Amino acid sequence: MFRYLSAGESHGPALVGILDGLPAGLNLDVDIIDAALRARQDGYGRGARMKIEGDHVEFLAGLRGSVTLGSPLAVVIRNRDFENKRALMDPLTGRGKPLTNPRPGHADYAGALKYRHRDLRNVLERASARETAMRVALGAICAQFLEPFGIRTLGYVLRIGEVEAPDFEEVDGAAVSASDVRCPDEQTSQHMIAAIDAAKAAGDTLGGTFTVRIDGVPVGIGSNRQAATRLDGILAGALMGMQTVKAVEVGAGATVAAKPGSQAHDTFAMNEGAVVRGSNRAGGIEGGMSNGQPIVLRVSVKPIPTLMKALPSINLHEQADAPASIVRSDVCVVPAASIVGEAMARLAMTGPVLEKYGGDSMEETLDNFQRSTAAVAKLF
């Protein structure tokens, strides 16, 4: 069984990750992981914390000579800001003045009551999106596992606040990376940056929408057998499991609800001996299984709940009205979220790919893949 776990507080000593179930014999390039970590830190609209951190992954277990051993991988990303927060966050001696005013939209309030914490810091430290750095590192490991199967994932931004990009048929990864907001349309990127600047000046924050596109997925990943084995459910669950995400759509998503069946599906036809589809409204998944078309997911995130112009709230200790706590934060995390979304999709795809092709070594898993692909090509 493939699985992963992360641990770590935002201002604690480090983030820790474990990835269990990858085959032996996979060559890992640490530079690819660090490049993904840098991309997550870079998006326009990030706050001052990103100037402190320089995320880098260190391997503690499961790797020898840059090749996986088949044993669990253990990785660490250190939090540089811990040095500034040692008195507050030291695992043995940390203490400080409690945070008392929950931010509407944040984990603060529910977490305080759930865990019986009188200091909201004990909730926000784990709720913080700092933890997504580890997901990106683990996702970049999975990207390298998926690569030999031809599976590639790209996240890009479609909307920030009220600024929306035109729909993209084809997306160029280089154009995405070249944009400070990871939107492949240059003019829309400029409008998005202006919207972020305006929100910042107003003490406000902005949400938005990003696409995660997975190309090269062979037919038949995931299954229709059970609710928990459906690929759309697995991917949507992974993406909803990100901080700030409020909606995930597959393909045409919610828009099909208003369409008649004649305009909601993807017709079949033969073209020079090959099966072709008239469109990709299903977003690459039919009956909970990949159908050979690109998998297209659209993910919407809320504006982050830490506003410099604080929302009305309460002081839990005084049981009185008081503005929400103001802490250092970002204005817009949508570009960063698109990188985290890429990572979550890679993590979510790895289990079902391993279930389909199996194997304890990369060699064995790729043999199974090649045999399966050849057999399917001769089926009809």
In the bound complex, what is the minimum distance in angstroms from residue 273's beta carbon to ligand EPS?
49
369-373 contact pairs (CB < 8 A, 24+): 369/149, 369/218, 372/218, 373/218
In the bound complex, what is the minimum distance in angstroms from residue 167's beta carbon to ligand EPS?
29
Give the H or E element holding residue 212.
strand 208-215
Read off the amino acid at residue 287.
G
135, 244, 335 from 197: Cα distances, Å: 28, 20, 15
Read off the amino acid at residue 227.
A
Read off the amino acid at residue 40.
R
Nearer to ligand EPS, 15 or 195 (CB): 15
When CB distances to ligand EPS are compared, the closest residue is: 49
In the bound complex, what is the minimum distance in angstroms from residue 128's beta carbon to ligand EPS?
4
In the bound complex, what is the minimum distance in angstroms from residue 49's beta carbon to ligand EPS?
3
Nearer to ligand EPS, 329 or 338 (CB): 329
Nearer to ligand EPS, 62 or 305 (CB): 305
Nearer to ligand EPS, 63 or 334 (CB): 334
Nearer to ligand EPS, 48 or 270 (CB): 48
CA-CA distance, 320 to 142, in Å (whole number)? 48
In the bound complex, what is the minimum distance in angstroms from residue 12's beta carbon to ligand EPS?
11
Residues that bind ligand EPS (CB under 6 A): 10, 47, 49, 53, 81, 124, 128-130, 132-133, 306, 327-330
